[in-house]
């Protein structure tokens, strides 16, 4: 997929995000396709085509993903599938596009030095969910944050995490990384992540990486996966602390009630990613 195609997807995402916001705000009145199309200033036909091109599924199917009833059913299905996978000794039933994500944790000493003597390359690139700032070292990707503005806040966060490192702009490599993370066609890939967190946080993030493709999971299910069933609040805090978006799929964690819950990069984006992933898996099947 070319860079211009990602930019087109990013523009489409802004329409999708506005549609999601409108649907959630007016959920009780069950807005029609015509009403949603009017809100985003498109014809019904154009909205239909855009959704199908962006999400891989129809608007009607898309709307089903935004209901609590659908989410609660997804949680029940996840419970069965994850349970069977774990009982058989497997970490999970597979990842989106067969993308194999391996990771290693920074040592406490490395974290304490704030990246002294390390080169961190970074750049902003278009993704299917808007622009994102990526940061990486020679050991792997260490940062991926979606940007709604010019990326200043994300740049500041990256700098604060690596305040003594040499920060080197590299937009070309950022674009290349995005192409690997969001391939146009399902294909095996390999990415290495460099995790910065406490032992407990890393345990939670590693469990998230092993969740099956597009599989939703509750905080209690995630706590059980790491053998800490009573640590739901601590698990939620670890999920919220994640600064490697999408690849550590904290967007797949929802509340037991079926509510989407909070997300570092916006709850509308969280729901959009869930729907997009489901569409990608459907197309790959």
- Counting other chains too, the contacts that 230-235 makes at CB distance below 8 Å and 24 or more residues apart are 234/200, 235/204
Alpha-carbon distances of 125 from 2, 97, 99, 225, rounded to whole Å:
12, 20, 20, 33
Note whether 176 and 186 are within 8 A (CB). no
At 130, is the secondary structure helix, strand, or coil?
strand
Query: Is 250 annotated as catalytic?
Result: yes
State the DSSP code for 252: G
Catalytic site residue from 142, 147, 159, 250? 250
Listed residue (49, 26, 4, 1) closest to 16, CA to CA: 49
Structure tokens at 189: 């890939």
Catalytic residues, by residue number, are 250
């Amino acid at each position: 997929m070319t860079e211009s195609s990602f930019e087109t997807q990013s523009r489409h995402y802004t329409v999708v995000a506005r549609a999601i916001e409108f649907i959630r705000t007016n959920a009780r009145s069950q807005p029609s396709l015509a009403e949603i199309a009017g809100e985003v200033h498109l014809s019904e036909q154009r909205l239909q085509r855009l959704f199908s091109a962006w999400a891989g599924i129809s608007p009607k199917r898309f709307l089903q993903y935004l209901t609590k009833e659908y989410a609660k059913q997804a949680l029940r299905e996840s419970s069965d599938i994850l349970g069977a996978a774990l009982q058989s000794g497997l970490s999970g039933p597979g990842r989106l596009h067969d993308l194999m994500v391996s990771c290693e944790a920074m040592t406490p000493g490395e974290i304490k030095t704030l990246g002294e003597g390390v080169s961190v390359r970074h750049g902003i690139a278009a993704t299917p969910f808007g622009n994102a700032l990526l940061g990486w070292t020679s050991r792997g990707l260490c940062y991926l944050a979606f940007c709604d503005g010019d990326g200043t806040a994300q740049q500041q966060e990256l700098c604060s995490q690596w305040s003594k490192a040499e920060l080197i702009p590299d937009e070309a490599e950022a674009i290349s990384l995005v192409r690997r993370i969001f391939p146009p066609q399902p294909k095996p890939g390999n990415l290495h992540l460099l995790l910065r967190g406490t032992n407990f946080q890393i345990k939670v993030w590693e469990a998230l990486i092993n969740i099956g493709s597009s599989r939703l999971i509750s905080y209690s299910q995630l706590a059980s996966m790491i053998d800490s069933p009573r640590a739901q609040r601590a698990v939620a805090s670890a999920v919220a602390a994640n600064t490697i978006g999408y690849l550590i799929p904290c967007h797949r964690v929802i509340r037991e009630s079926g509510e989407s819950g909070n997300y570092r990069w916006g709850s509308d984006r969280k729901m959009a990613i869930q729907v997009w992933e489901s569409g990608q898996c459907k197309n790959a099947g």
